[in-house]
């Protein structure tokens, strides 16, 4: 039989002030999305202001009031005793706070953050097993890369992001990743060698024939787009979206022919971007 002052039968709901939403397992999430951080900061700054402390409860369970077990809770401040109470959602209703939307979005953020964290750990261990740990470090910004490697870095991040999200990576992506990492690690050398090998891209609309160096996806404003990098017969590199009529057939080393408008990349005449492709076909 409880005799404490916070047992359900004797509390005065009007004495409790809602502070924030919380989760028992919050410490499992490092960083976390903004909503989780906000709620945690609300609690911290509130406590700082009042100098209050967590209420001690000797009855079992999680809820400071009724003892029910929970994962999600609301934090209430009790001014008279200058204490904070973690309260489950059933008691929350009694304390006259029931903000379903806040609770729902908090739960969603928490689940997403947890899934993302698991995805990240999984991605890291898969990449490390393949000796591609560097790709994970680039993705998480743990190491700095040469600014001029922007293209390689963005494709690396894209591949790792997909691995985090979907939990798998194809053999093709692994070998592509290896190539990209090699380029990033040996960037200066790679660029001078590349510049010696390549011609400047010719601008205008013309027929291009070339070999696909790689195919990759970008998740942009217009949804997911497949891009391909072509090494042309003129010995230049051009990049653009894969035309829809060959999208299912195109792969690394495909010989492709198309007519498109080509412009040089800013500050890099060895790279071109093609757009408005027409009459695309695979010729091997």
- Shortest distance, position 87 Cβ to Zn ion, whole Å: 6
Nearer to Zn ion, 3 or 248 (CB): 3
Q: Which is nearer to Zn ion, 63 or 256 (CB)?
A: 63
CB of 24 to Zn ion, least distance (A): 14
**Tokens (6 digits) for 151:** 């293209």
| Residue placing its CB nearer to Zn ion in the complex, 91 or 135 | 91
Identity of the residue, 32 or 88, whose beta carbon is nearer to Zn ion in the bound complex: 88
Q: What is the C-alpha to C-alpha distance for residues 109 and 130, in angstroms, rounded to an integer?
A: 31
Helix (H, G, I), strand (E, B) or coil at 173: helix
Nearer to Zn ion, 23 or 236 (CB): 23
> From CA 100, how far away is CA 277, in angstroms rounded?
50
Q: Which stretch binds Zn ion (CB under 5 A): 52-60, 84-92, 154-162, 172-180?
A: 84-92
Q: Are strands 255-265 and 53-54 parallel, antiparallel or unpaired?
A: unpaired
Pick from 32, 34, 41: nearest CA to 114: 32
**Cα–Cα distance list, 48 to 41, 44, 73, 76, 240 (Å):** 10, 6, 20, 15, 55
Interface positions, 22-81, toward Zn ion (CB under 5 A): 63, 65-66, 68
In the complex, what is the shortest distance from the CB of residue 171 to Zn ion, in angstroms, rounded to a whole number?
52
Query: ∠22-28-30 over CA atoms, to 5°?
Result: 95
Please identify which residue in 19, 91, 127, 149 interacts with Zn ion, judged by CB under 5 A: 91
Number of residues located near Zn ion, criterion CB under 5 A: 6
Among 32, 88, 243, 277, the residue binding Zn ion under the rule CB under 5 A is 88
Q: How far is the CB of 42 from Zn ion (least distance, A)?
A: 21
Identify whether the C-beta of residue 160 lies closer than 8 Å to the C-beta of residue 119: no
Q: ∠ CA 14-18-22 to the nearest 5 degrees? A: 145
Binding window for Zn ion (CB under 5 A); candidates: 88-96, 197-205, 209-217, 240-248: 88-96
Residues lying near Zn ion in the complex (CB under 5 A) are found at 63, 65-66, 68, 88, 91
């Amino acid at each position: 039989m409880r005799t404490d002052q916070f047992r359900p039968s004797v509390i005065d709901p009007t004495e409790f002030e809602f502070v924030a939403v919380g989760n028992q397992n919050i410490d499992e999430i490092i960083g976390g999305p903004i909503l989780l951080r906000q709620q945690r900061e609300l609690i911290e700054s509130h406590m700082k202001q009042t100098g209050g402390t967590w209420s001690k409860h000797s009855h079992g369970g999680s809820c400071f009031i009724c003892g029910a077990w929970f994962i999600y809770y609301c934090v209430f401040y009790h001014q008279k005793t200058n204490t904070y109470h973690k309260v489950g959602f059933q008691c929350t209703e009694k304390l006259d706070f029931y903000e379903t939307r806040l609770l729902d979005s908090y739960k969603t953020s928490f689940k997403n953050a947890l899934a993302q964290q698991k995805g990240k750990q999984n991605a890291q261990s898969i990449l490390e097993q393949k000796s591609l740990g560097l790709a994970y470090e680039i993705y998480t910004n743990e190491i700095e890369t040469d600014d001029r490697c922007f293209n390689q870095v963005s494709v690396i991040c894209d591949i790792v992001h997909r691995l985090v999200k979907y939990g798998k990576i194809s053999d093709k992506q692994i070998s592509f990743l290896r190539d990209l990492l090699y380029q990033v690690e040996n960037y200066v050398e790679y660029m001078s060698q590349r510049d010696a090998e390549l011609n400047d891209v010719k601008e205008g609309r013309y027929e291009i024939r070339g070999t696909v160096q790689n195919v990759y996806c970008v998740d942009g404003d217009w949804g997911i787009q497949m891009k391909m990098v072509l090494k042309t017969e003129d010995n230049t590199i051009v990049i653009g979206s894969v035309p829809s009529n060959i999208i299912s057939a195109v792969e690394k080393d495909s010989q492709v022919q198309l007519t498109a408008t080509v412009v040089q990349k800013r500050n890099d005449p060895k790279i071109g971007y093609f757009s408005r492709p027409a009459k695309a076909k695979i010729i091997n």
